[in-house]
Structure 1
Amino acid sequence: MTSSPFLNDIRRFMRTRGYSLSTEKTYVYWIRFFIRYQKLRHPKDMGAAEVVQFLGFLANDRHVSVNTQKLALNALAFLYNTYLESPLGDLGFQHANKPAKLPVVISSQEVGRILAVKNNRDRLISSLLFGSGLRISECLRLRIKDFDFSRRALTVHSGKGDKDRVTILSPSLQGNIEAAMASAIEIQTFRPRRFIPI
């Protein structure tokens, strides 16, 4: 599908100002959606009232999440405030609200049953995820030097927000961890020593 000259110009505008490609794609998507919803009227001929109407449509008819609605608002705020230099001002707009739902949390017994059917490698990964509160990507990036058995601590580098943190390490996993370390050293003699070979 051929893009309009207007949308192409927005792309060029964003690229010359260093916006990321993902931001560019997201903003152009929502700007195109907005224009189509408003029956192909040019944004210069519209303003805050049409933006609020569109955001209401997303919440009430499309039942989008709050975060999706915020993305659409950010895209349209960029369109008017930055690209068209025609600030929307205070929209007096309330974000969509969805009732909070409690997460489903499995019990320790259920975790045990899951671990019982895994192979040694996956059981150790899952035990670290559950016991130390790691994300999968954090677990798979662990190095031998990140383990401190004397303090029962585990150092996570470049976690969420690119931050380092120290978390707990279950002493019951020490034997399995040391076996994985020995395997990693043997397999990766000439490579950086990643804790779990992948």
Structure 2
Amino acid sequence: MAQSPLLSKMRTEIRRQQYSYFTERAYIKWVVQFVKYHNMQHPSELDEEDVLRFLIYLEENKEYSLPIQKQALCALLFLYDRILNKPLKTLSRPQVFES
């Protein structure tokens, strides 16, 4: 199965940054889930509100724990910051998951 140029670029950057293999797998998985959630729309066409909507979906519909939600956020922050050069300013703050 052919890999998308986006995922290929992401893998290359993750490896260049010397992240662990497990982090690479997790980040790729979260990006794929994010794209599927948004009906296969390319992440460059989505914005911070779309990321937030995905995170809320993970919490409310999937009932993922806070550490899992944070991992998803880190993957998407990496994608937008390092791959798409479109940083998510509001979601980058540490208070995102504070109630």
State the TM-score, normalized to the length of structure 2.
0.86
Q: Paired residues, what number?
A: 97
1:21 aligns to 2:14 (yes or no): no
Deviations 1:34-85 (A, max 9, x none): 0110011111111101000000000000011011000000000111112211
Q: Which has the higher helix share?
A: 2
Larger radius of gyration: 1
Residue in structure 2 matched with residue 32 of structure 1 by the alignment: 32
Deviation for aligned residue 1:90: 1.1
List aligned pairs for 1:86-125, cutoff 5 A: 86-91=86-91, 94-95=96-97
CA contact (8 A) 2:30 2:75 kept: yes
State the TM-score, normalized to the length of structure 1.
0.45
Structure with larger RCO (C-alpha < 8 A, sep 6+): 2
Which sections of structure 2, spanning at least 5 residues, go unmatched? none
1:70 aligns to 2:70 (yes or no): yes
Which sections of structure 1, spanning at least 5 residues, go unmatched? 98-198
Provide the C-alpha distance between the structure 1 equivalents of 2:20 and 2:62, rounded to a whole number of angstroms: 27
Deviation for aligned residue 1:2: 4.1
For the aligned residues, what is the CA RMSD?
2.0
CA contact (8 A) 2:9 2:83 kept: no
